[in-house]
Chains A and B, each alone.
Chain A
Amino acid sequence: MNDESYRIFPLGDAALTVDFGNAISVALNDRAIALAEHLTTHPFPGFIECVPAYSSVSIFYDVAIASKGLPKEATVFGSVSNLVKKALISAGNTSTTSSRHLEIPMRFDRESAMDLEFVAAEKNMSASDVIDIFTASEYRVFMLGFLPGFSYMGELDERLSIQRKDIPRTRVPAGSIAIAGRQAGIYSLASPGGWQIIGRTDLDLFDPEKDEPCRLRAGDLVRFIAVK
C-alpha cells in the first residue's frame, strides 16, 4: 500500500477522513469497510466512532482523551493520522467478514412504483422491461447514510441510469425503492426525497427496537425479488 493510495484530511477539529479516491468502486469500498472494521474492533484512546462511505472512512475522536492517550505530535490530528496510517496496514484491502447475501421482496404496483411509468417512458422501454432489468442485477450496499438505514446501492444497469427529480417529493413512503444516476436506494423511513421511485418493499429496513436497528450493512449484497 503506497502513500499515494489515500489522502487524510481533517473533518473539523475533532474528526478526520481517510479518502481512497473520488470514485464508486467495489475495491475502494472494500478498503473503506476493512479500515472501519479494524478501527471499530481496535479502538484507540479517544476513538468515538467511524463512518465508512463509498470510498472513505471518517473517524470521530475525543481530542482531550486522544491528546493524553496517543503519542505526542504537533497536533492531535497528527497523532490520530499516524495511528490511522498504521491501522491501514493492519486492516488490509478487504473486510475479514464475508458479504451477506440478502433478498428483498419488491412490489411494482402503480401506487407504490410512482415513477415506474416515467422511467420507462424516459428510457423508451416498457415498465416490465424496467422491472426485468432492475431485478436481474445483484446490488452491493456501498454505505448507509442520509436517513437511519437508508442504503446507497450500486451499480444500477446503465440502461436505467436516470437523473433525480427536479423537485424532490416532500414525502416518500417508507420502503420505497428508488434509483438515481447509477445508484439504487431504499427509503428506510418516510422522508422527503428526490430519487425516482420504481417500487416498494414491505420489509422493515429500520426497526428502532432492535440492537442493530438497520437491516442492511455496508458490504451486503442484495437481490430484489418481484412479488405481486
Chain B
Amino acid sequence: MNRAGCEPVIWYGLSQLSKMGLIVKKPGILSTVQDLGRYGYRRFGINPTGVMDQAATRLLNILVGNADNDPVLEMHFPAPEIVFDSDCVLALGGADFSASIDGIPVENWRSYFAHAGSTLRFDKKMLGNRCYLAVNGGLKVDEWLGSASTNLTAARGGIEGRRLEQGDVIGTAPLPSSNIFAGRRVSHSLIPLYRPFPTVRIVPGAEFDMLDSPDLDLLENQDFLVSNNSNRMGFRLAGPAITPIRRQEMISSAVNFGTIQLLPDGQLIVLMAGHQTTGGYPRIAHVISRDLPLIAQLGAGDKVAFFLVDRSHAEKLLLEFEHELNLLRISAGYRTRPAR
C-alpha cells in the first residue's frame, strides 16, 4: 500500500481561512461541479443533470465525511490541474487518470490530506472516462433550484453554469481541527467493476414488445460500440440494426437516465445524466440503477453488452447497494465522532 501523500492532519489556525478554495490552473476538457441532481423541475423541462457516476460520488463523499449529495468535481480527460489554496482532505475515484499531488502518486478511493499550495495533476487516462474529486466539506458553489449541479443548457448551477475555466476558484469549507478523514479507503467490494467492455443489466421498457426474437437475440448477444457521438446527454451505440416487427408513431413522454431508445435507423441511444426530460422514440429497455456507473464510465470506442434481468432483481440490487452504503456511512460516523 502506497501511503505517499497521506499525512497526519496539521492545524494551521484561523489566519489560513481567509482565502479558501481550489485554484484552477488548467481547466481540462470538460470539468463541471455536480451533485446527485436537481429534482422537482423535470415537469418544466429542466433535467436533473448531476454526476454521471452516482456510485463513485456517493462513496467518495462518504469517505471524506460528506453527505452523499455534496457537490463534487466531475472531470474528463485531459483533466484539470488544481492548486489547493488551503489545507484540505480529498479523495478521487471513478475513472483512474493517474493522479499525483506534487509529484507523489495518489490512489483512487483513498482519502488524502493535501497541504495548502500543493498541486493536483492527472497524467494519463488509465481506466474509465469520468473522475471525481470530493473534498471534505463539499465544494461551495452557486446553487440553482436547490442543487449545485451545473446545467450547461440553462447556464446555471456550479461555477456560473459553465465548465471550469483557467483561473476559477472553487470555494471549499474550512477544514475542522478534528478532521480525521484522511488516510482512509473504500473497501474493494464496494467499488464498481469498471471495465472498457462491461455487460450491463437491463430491464424491459414500455416498447420492449416491439422486438421480435431475432431483435432480442441481437440485443442480448451482440456487442455495441460507444460511438464518437456520445456525451453527457446520451451515448449513441453502433451495432447491428434492430428492425422491429412494427413501427409505432409515438407522442412525447418522460424518459429517464439509463433509458435505451431505438432510433428510426435501428441504432440505439442510451440516455445519460444530461438527457432531455422527454422523448418520442421507443423505449425498448432501461439500464438498471446498479449498473449505471459501469456504463457511465464508458467513452467513445468502448463497447457494451446487455443482459436482461427482471424488475425484482434490479430492485434487489439497488436496495443491496443502498444497504452497503448505509453500513459504510455508519462505520464512517462511528470512527469519526468528533472528540469533545
CB distance B254 to A58 under 8 Å? yes
CB distance B286 to A12 under 8 Å? yes
Of B41, B153, B287, B315, the residue contacting A191 (CB under 8 A) is: B153
A131 at the interface (CB under 8 A from B): no
CB distance B251 to A51 under 8 Å? no
- Cα of A95 to Cα of B314 in the assembled complex, Å: 35
Shortest distance from the beta carbon of B249 to any chain A beta carbon, whole Å: 8
Extra contacts besides A10-B203, A143-B278 (18): CB < 8 Å: A13-B289, A15-B256, A17-B253, A51-B253, A53-B251, A53-B254, A58-B256, A144-B45, A144-B277, A145-B254, A145-B278, A146-B45, A146-B252, A148-B44, A188-B45, A189-B154, A208-B144, A208-B154
CB distance A74 to B312 under 8 Å? yes
A-B pairs with beta carbons under 8 A, tally: 150
- Can you spell out 29 A-B residue pairs with CB atoms less than 8 angstroms apart? A9-B206, A10-B205, A11-B205, A11-B283, A15-B254, A22-B248, A22-B251, A48-B40, A49-B42, A49-B43, A53-B252, A53-B278, A58-B256, A60-B39, A60-B256, A63-B318, A63-B322, A75-B311, A75-B315, A77-B315, A143-B278, A145-B254, A146-B276, A148-B46, A148-B151, A149-B45, A208-B155, A208-B156, A213-B145
Given contacts A36-B43, A144-B44, A146-B278, contact A206 B154 (CB under 8 A): yes
CB contacts (< 8 Å) of B288 on chain A: these are 12-13
Shortest distance from the beta carbon of B324 to any chain A beta carbon, whole Å: 12
Of B45, B154, B155, B259, the residue contacting A145 (CB under 8 A) is: B45
A50 at the interface (CB under 8 A from B): yes
A220 at the interface (CB under 8 A from B): no
Shortest distance from the beta carbon of A100 to any chain B beta carbon, whole Å: 15
**Chain A: interface residue total (CB-CB under 8 A):** 49
Given contacts A145-B278, A146-B278, contact A49 B40 (CB under 8 A): yes
Measured CB to CB, the nearest residue on chain B to A75 is B312
A94 at the interface (CB under 8 A from B): no
Of B42, B145, B203, B278, the residue contacting A12 (CB under 8 A) is: B203
B258 at the interface (CB under 8 A from A): yes
CB contacts (< 8 Å) of B45 on chain A: these are 144-150, 188, 214
Measured CB to CB, the nearest residue on chain B to A11 is B256
Contact with B along A145-157 (1 / 0, CB 8 A): 1111110100000
Measured CB to CB, the nearest residue on chain A to B206 is A9
CB distance A13 to B318 under 8 Å? yes
- Cα of A212 to Cα of B318 in the assembled complex, Å: 33
Interface size class of B (residues with CB under 8 A): 35 or more
Measured CB to CB, the nearest residue on chain A to B285 is A12
Given contacts A54-B253, A145-B278, contact A11 B44 (CB under 8 A): no
Q: Nearest 5 pairs between A and B by C-beta?
A: A145-B278, A58-B254, A12-B286, A13-B314, A53-B253
Shortest distance from the beta carbon of A193 to any chain B beta carbon, whole Å: 12
Shortest distance from the beta carbon of A176 to any chain B beta carbon, whole Å: 15
Name the interface residues of A170-203: CB closer than 8 Å to any CB of B. Answer: 188-189, 191
CB distance A147 to B156 under 8 Å? no
B250 at the interface (CB under 8 A from A): yes
Shortest distance from the beta carbon of B295 to any chain A beta carbon, whole Å: 13
Q: Which of A56, A148, A189, A206 has the most CB of B within 10 A?
A: A148
A14 at the interface (CB under 8 A from B): yes
CB contacts (< 8 Å) of B256 on chain A: these are 11-12, 14-15, 58, 60
Measured CB to CB, the nearest residue on chain B to A76 is B315
Contact with A along B260-303 (1 / 0, CB 8 A): 00000000000000001110000100111100000000000000
Measured CB to CB, the nearest residue on chain A to B276 is A146
Measured CB to CB, the nearest residue on chain A to B250 is A22
- Cα of A178 to Cα of B334 in the assembled complex, Å: 58
Of A15, A48, A55, A146, the residue contacting B277 (CB under 8 A) is: A146
A106 at the interface (CB under 8 A from B): no
CB contacts (< 8 Å) of A19 on chain B: these are 206, 253
A127 at the interface (CB under 8 A from B): no
CB distance B153 to A218 under 8 Å? no
- Cα of A58 to Cα of B48 in the assembled complex, Å: 14
CB distance A13 to B254 under 8 Å? no
- Cα of A55 to Cα of B278 in the assembled complex, Å: 13
Contact with A along B128-172 (1 / 0, CB 8 A): 000000000000000011000001011110000000000000000
Name the interface residues of A117-158: CB closer than 8 Å to any CB of B. Answer: 143-150, 152
- Cα of A191 to Cα of B204 in the assembled complex, Å: 32
Measured CB to CB, the nearest residue on chain A to B254 is A58
A64 at the interface (CB under 8 A from B): yes
- Cα of A190 to Cα of B304 in the assembled complex, Å: 34
CB contacts (< 8 Å) of A167 on chain B: these are none
Measured CB to CB, the nearest residue on chain A to B43 is A51
Measured CB to CB, the nearest residue on chain A to B260 is A12
Measured CB to CB, the nearest residue on chain A to B255 is A11
A23 at the interface (CB under 8 A from B): yes
